[in-house]
Amino acid sequence: MSLFSVADLVPHSGDMLLIDEVNRFGVDDIETRVLVKAGGLFSQADGSMPAWVGVELMAQTIAAFAGCHARTANEPVALGFLLGTRKYTCNVEAFAAGTALTIKALRSLQDDNGMAVFECVMTGPKILASARLNVFQPPNASQYLAESGEAKKHV
């Protein structure tokens, strides 16, 4: 059973919400789970999910981490941004439909302005993927988007 509904933790919805549940979270880490489903947004003809989607699974896991901490502090879930990915490796080309994947993220660095680095590992049957993700969660996302001019592009 998940600690929180994933839909209440991340700013994604519909087909773009890829992770299924939060297994556990702590001060600096989180573990999530996803069951690869045929017919999903990123499904290939054979029902599998391309391995490069693993980066998005890791990013959504980090979003869930932030959401868990926001919820436990009775604060609203805030928008965050994936700034970059370093050293993404995966030993398979795709994740077969029906495969259960476990994603773990460990916060290795965070500064006061919202920048953070997470070490991520994803495992499943004969599957191992890893990466370092750089993320940014501005203190006020609406103000940040307005100042950067991005808000007008998304209206």
Q: Is the pLDDT of residue 143 over 80?
A: no
Residue 23 belongs to some domain of the structure: yes
The answer to whether the CB of 47 falls within 8 A of the CB of 39 is yes
**How many domains does the chain fold into?**
1
CATH number of the domain within which 33 lies: 3.10.129.10
Q: Say whether pTM exceeds 0.85.
A: yes
152 pLDDT band (50/70/90 cuts)?
low
Residue 1 belongs to some domain of the structure: no
Query: If you average pLDDT over residues 39-55, what whole number do you get?
Result: 97
Residue 128 belongs to some domain of the structure: yes
Residue 131 belongs to some domain of the structure: yes
What are 100-131's pLDDT values in tens digits? Answer: 999 999 999 999 888 999 999 999 999 999 99
Share of the chain above pLDDT 70, in %: 90
Q: What is the extent of the structural domain holding 140?
A: 6-153
Q: Taking Cα atoms as reference points, which of 129, 135, 68 lies closest to residue 102?
A: 129
140 pLDDT band (50/70/90 cuts)?
confident
